[in-house]
Structure 1
Amino acid sequence: MDELKSLRGLMKEETFKGRGFTNKMRENILNEVHSNQPKSFSFHKKPILAPILSMLFFAACLSIFVYFGGTQLGIIGNNASAPLYEASDRPESLGKEFKFITKVPFNVKNVSTEAKEGPYGNAQFVTLMGPEKQTITMSFQLLEPGLDLTLSEEPVKVGTSKGSYSETEGPLKISRLTWMEGEAIYEMKYMPARSGITLTKQDMIQMAESFR
């Protein structure tokens, strides 16, 4: 490197005078000597497009494998943690002292009501049915003042209210949630019917917390 540095210092324009060099020859020699980096040490960049495409292909294959594997195992697509649909059909027969559900996990195709004796006296029953016969049945009942009611199933919270949750086993699992707000007691039961869409405990609580 020291010799190259010395040579660069010597290679001035006057070096070529009277030596028989043409202008083209002088330019080529000066360019070679004064270049920043010799060509023998040039670096060749490795192509990066091929590794990137390989990584993208691998990621796509992995995503497809996870999706179909999860579907077959029942991990994906078998519960109703999907967005909830609005339910605006509040029955006229339902008293103003009760709240009513505003979000359910399917499009409501039919609403039916019935008044009959419940476990704590007269009660209003409202049933919502979806396009695949999935069904939510709700009961609305006022408690007598001073009644000390004990909920016997798994204790849960619906907002700040006390409640209890239970579910049956099997392919057509039935989820049931009961909770109290003020002097009212609510019970909500979900049956998936042939839809295959089951509800988790958190799904049920989320629906109960949509009551307005």
Structure 2
Amino acid sequence: MDELKSLRGLMKEETFKGRGFTNKMRENILDEIHSKQPKSFSLPKKPIFAPIMSVLFFAACFSIFVYFGGTQLGIFGSNASAPLYEASDRPEVLGREFKYITKVPFEVKNVSTKTGDGPTGSRQVITLMGPEKQTIRISFQLLEPGTDTTLSQDPVKVGSSQGSYTESEDALKVSMLTWIEGDAMYDMTYMPARSGVTLSKDEMIKLAESFR
């Protein structure tokens, strides 16, 4: 740009004298020199695509971290409105006087049975376990006539039967439901283990109402 300014200053009338330039040539040269204006200088624009993608990636990673961290700490409940699976393989040790669960909130990988003593006699305990060690443990017991069946926890209805519900207060919530149908008392406990899927009172009642 400095060279062009200097050249303009030199191109006076006397520059062309004795040089063999015609008037027409002189006018064309002067017009060409004086018509050249310096182009405006602008910095190249910074690309904005990469910073935007970086921000979106960070936000996605942070959201995933918060969700899974919160689930492990019990801050967020993973609601078990998950698909219900069939549990129709009734253990042979279970008497015909009892109903048996037909819907569970996980795919059953293992079933174990145990006979023990209950408050009013012997009882059968059946444990169903899922792929992440989530567990449903159900005890089945026949009640003797005249047995006090007062249920002291949160009263609920399982179909037309009386029952009670309670749950633990720690981060990994354990849900417990007891109900009585005729002479049979059922006690069902759900433990989420490392699945992070907890069950609400209504969901426990839904499982109990699947007994057939």
TM range, normalised to the smaller chain? 0.5 to 0.7
Tell me the secondary structure at the aligned position of residue 125 of structure 2. strand
Q: How far is 1:146 from its partner?
A: 2.1
Q: State the distance in 2 between where 1:131 and 1:184 align.
A: 30
Mapping 1:1-212, distance limit 5 Å? 71=67, 78-212=78-212
- 1:126: Cα distance to partner? 0.1
Q: What one-letter code is carried by the residue in structure 1 that aligns with 2:187?
A: E
1:102-134 CA-partner distances (Å, limit 9, x unpaired)? 000000000000001012210000000000000
Counterpart secondary structure, 2:180: strand
Letter in 2 for 1:147: T
SS in 1 for 2:190: strand
Which runs of no fewer than 5 residues in structure 1 stay unpaired? 1-64
Q: How many Å apart are 1:77 and its aligned residue?
A: 6.5
8 Å contact 1:71–1:77 — kept in the other structure? Answer: no
Question: Identity over aligned residues, as a percent?
Answer: 67
Question: After TM superposition, which residue ranges in structure 1, 4 or more long, deviate above 2 angstroms?
Answer: 68-77
Equivalent pairs, count: 148
In 1, Cα distance between equivalents of 2:116 and 2:76:
39
Please report the RMSD computed on the Cα atoms of aligned residues, expressed in angstroms: 2.2
- Structure with max Cα Rg: 2
1:87-108 deviation per Cα after TM superposition (whole angstroms, max 9, x unaligned): 1121000000000000000000
Deviations 1:16-67 (A, max 9, x none): xxxxxxxxxxxxxxxxxxxxxxxxxxxxxxxxxxxxxxxxxxxxxxxxx9xx
Deviation of residue 80 (structure 1)?
Answer: 0.6
Q: Cα gap change, 1:76/1:86 in structure 2, threshold over 3 Å: closer, same or farther?
A: farther
Other structure's SS at 1:185 match: strand
CA shift for structure 1 position 83: 2.1
The residue that corresponds to 1:46 in the other structure is none
Could you say what secondary structure the match of 2:100 adopts?
A: coil
Distance apart, 1:171 and its partner CA: 2.0
Q: Unaligned stretches of 5+ in structure 2?
A: 1-59
